[in-house]
Amino acid sequence: MTHKTPIHLLIPCILMFTVAAAYSGPDQETGSELAGKQVGILIGAGFHDGETLEPAAYMRSRGANAVFLSNRTGTLSAYNSDASIDIETTIDDVNPEDFCALVIPGGRGPADIRDDDSVRQFVARFHATGRPIAAICHGPQVLASAGVLDGVSITCVNSISNEMIEYGAEFTDAEVMRDGNIITSRVPGDLPAFNRAIAQALTES
């Protein structure tokens, strides 16, 4: 069934200001080109704050609705700051078809959720829709567990590149890679290219 539960983001005001300010430059103008698009952001405990909050801010600045999801309710904390997110809607409460794109941030979150059967099934079902699915840093670990990387050209943080190759992926060290509906990036420094690639894929879909 579809969800109507509000999602509450619990982070310090200064961090929210910093995230918003990151998109105030001349090449980060706001707009409405993504109005009506709903983007799911799938996280686990120990998510990376920037890789989670910056894509959400970027999509929202362009009119999209960014929804934080996990495999359970409760408050999840970042491993690298005081940021936390209160999850009130789980992947069991929604359908892949409810979202125009799925984003999987890195940090320690992917290791927290990648072995959960419901996560693997949700990601595999989302991939089957053909809609954009984007993962950054350690995020491709979730794609690997879902069995959707065989023969796919990706990038990721270098420390897991061999693991991704073992799962059948073709690794390239680049700031962003797009192969079909799968978009990947390596590290927080790649976020501008990562976010633009997601937005571009959303405008095409």
DSSP annotation string for 37-83:
-EEEEE--TTB-HHHHHHHHHHHHHTT-EEEEEBSS-EEEEBSSSS-
Structure tokens belonging to residue 23: 């998109």
Half-sphere exposure of 27 (CA within 13 A, CB side): 4
Question: Can you give the pLDDT at residue 29?
Answer: 61
pLDDT (tens digit per residue) in 114-136: 999 999 999 999 999 999 999 99
Q: What does DSSP assign to residue 200?
A: H
pLDDT (tens digit per residue) in 145-167: 999 999 999 999 999 999 999 99
Asked whether residue 62 carries a pLDDT value surpassing 50, the answer given is: yes
23 vs 94: which has the higher pLDDT: 94
Q: If you write DSSP's letter for every residue of 73-111 in order, what string do you get?
A: -EEEEBSSSS-EEEE--BGGGS-GGG-SEEEE--BTHHH
* Class at the top of the CATH hierarchy for domain 8-25+35-204: alpha beta
Collapsing DSSP states into helix, strand and coil, what is residue 184?
strand
Asked whether residue 12 carries a pLDDT value surpassing 90, the answer given is: no
Question: Can you give the pLDDT at residue 160?
Answer: 98
- Cα 101 to chain centroid, rounded: 9
CB 155 within 8 A of CB 172: yes
Structure tokens belonging to residue 188: 């927080």
In the chain, domain spans:
8-25+35-204
Asked whether residue 16 carries a pLDDT value surpassing 70, the answer given is: no
Say what the pTM is: 0.87
Which residues does the annotation mark as catalytic?
A: 137
Q: Which of 59, 156, 64, 169 is nearest to 110 (CA)?
A: 156
% of residues, the chain, pLDDT over 90? 83
Question: Can you give the pLDDT at residue 18?
Answer: 41
Q: Which residues of 146-167 are buried (b: 16+ CB within 10 A; e: fewer)?
A: bebbeebbbbbbeebbeebeeb
